[in-house]
Amino acid sequence: MQQWLGEAEAALKMPLGNLIISGYRSREFNKELQDAWDQGWRDGLDVRPADNSFHLTGDAVDLLIPNETLLKQLVKWWEARGGKWGGRWIPSDPNHFQLPYQTITSVEINLV
């Protein structure tokens, strides 16, 4: 993810690090966010965090993009490289940027 953000910063000629809302999340923190959502606390969340979120492996980042022009440029750059943008999903998660599946850096497997 750091490499992708660095390349995006260079392409857009704008630092993105200070725009990060959320990156890697532990399962415990993800569960806290889910519980908060379920109790009605939605501050900073566009959608309920997924059980299988790519944040759990560090392969997704949420960015607070300050204007529509920059958002459009970033989405165009991100998707041109195969990345996923949550703004295309239903429900929409416009702050979410995810690595393409072939770039995923780690996989968590739970054997029960």
Per-residue pLDDT tens digits of the chain, which is 112 residues long? 889 999 999 999 988 888 998 899 999 999 999 999 999 998 878 888 888 889 999 999 999 998 999 999 999 999 999 999 999 999 899 999 999 976 545 444 444 4
Q: How many domains does the chain have?
A: 1
Structure confidence at residue 103 (pLDDT):
55
Looking at residue 81, which CATH number applies to its domain?
Answer: 3.30.1380.10
Q: 91: which 2 tokens?
A: 């429900």
Structure confidence at residue 14 (pLDDT):
86
Crossing angle (nearest 10°) for helices 2-12 and 68-80: 120
Q: Does some domain include residue 9?
A: yes
Q: Does some domain include residue 112?
A: no
Q: Does some domain include residue 60?
A: yes
Alpha carbons within 13 A on the beta-carbon side of 75? 16
Cα gap 3→31, rounded to integer Å: 28
Domain around 29: 2-103
